[in-house]
Amino acid sequence: MTTFVIGDVQGCYAEFRQLLDLIRFDRTKDKLWLVGDIVNRGPDSLSVLRYVKALDETAVMVLGNHDLHLLMVAEGCGKMNRNDTLGDILAAPDRDELLCWLRRRPLLHINGDYVMVHAGLLPSWSIGQASQLAKSVENALRGNGFHELCAHMYGNQPDHWDENLEGYERLRVVINAMTRMRVCTPDGKMNFAHKGLEKDIPQGYVAWFEAPGRASREATILCGHWSALGLKITDNVLALDTGCLWGGSLTAIRLDDRKIFQVPCAAGEGTRQWQ
């Protein structure tokens, strides 16, 4: 069995299928992991969502901020933004089935030494603690309190972890870290304004994975979310959002040997395969 991990698709269905062809994905033998944000801003979110759902147990997907945004808009707890492309899903005859499936996706996926999360993990969180915190959010998403969670999900505060946090504030910090964070202070205060290059991180902040003494550093983290960061491959971080939506590429990595596969945003420009 071969496991491939794919970066943020964001509704780029044509490139997604082209990438699957490039890696010769075989659903009878292979596993497909997706780092979240499979929908929104791209031209065909509905087809992406339907395709991934139909893969059933062959695919593992963690929730990203755009996936959660779709759930909140559908629940009447959020408004469509000017650049959102979620209308086809919301108007689809199978929307309820698709959204029910989506809200049951995990926030964190752990398999051996690999940990997949959309954005990142706060410096103080061990993998065990992060797993427990993710499960608390997953239970809320799947339970009877789903609507109330959606109603309280948006917001940048609190911007740091505190064990004494309770209720929706506690859940919001977990959601923000795992689906929105790019940078934080060494002690874990998040900054959601910075979306640019790593070299332009504001003074006092670091890329979340560069925080000194990060408690999750023994695991290999698979993530996306930060398109300006681009492809970043280190011993313990595999960041795969290469900005297909913004004219970049859609990226896959084969975990067996860390081989990178990419297709460009514009159709007809061929494919690239990094050796």
Altogether, the residues listed in the chain come to a count of 275
Q: Which domain holds residue 255?
A: 3-273
9: nearest Cα among 227, 158, 187: 227
pLDDT at 275: 33
pLDDT score at 274: 39
Contact present, 224 and 64 (Cβ < 8 Å): yes
d(CA 238, CA 108): 15
How far is the CA of 56 from the CAs of 90, 101, 116, 197, in angstroms? 21, 10, 18, 36
Total-model pTM: 0.95
Which pLDDT belongs to residue 267? 47
- Looking at residue 46, which CATH number applies to its domain? 3.60.21.10
Residue written as token pair 């990595």: 253
Query: Tell me, what's the pLDDT at 1?
Result: 86
Q: At 233, is the secondary structure helix, strand, or coil? A: strand
The per-residue pLDDT for 270 is 41
Q: How many structural domains compose the chain?
A: 1
pLDDT at 65 (0 to 100): 98
Q: What is the pLDDT of residue 266?
A: 65
Q: With a cut of 50, list the residues of the chain below it in pLDDT.
A: 267-275
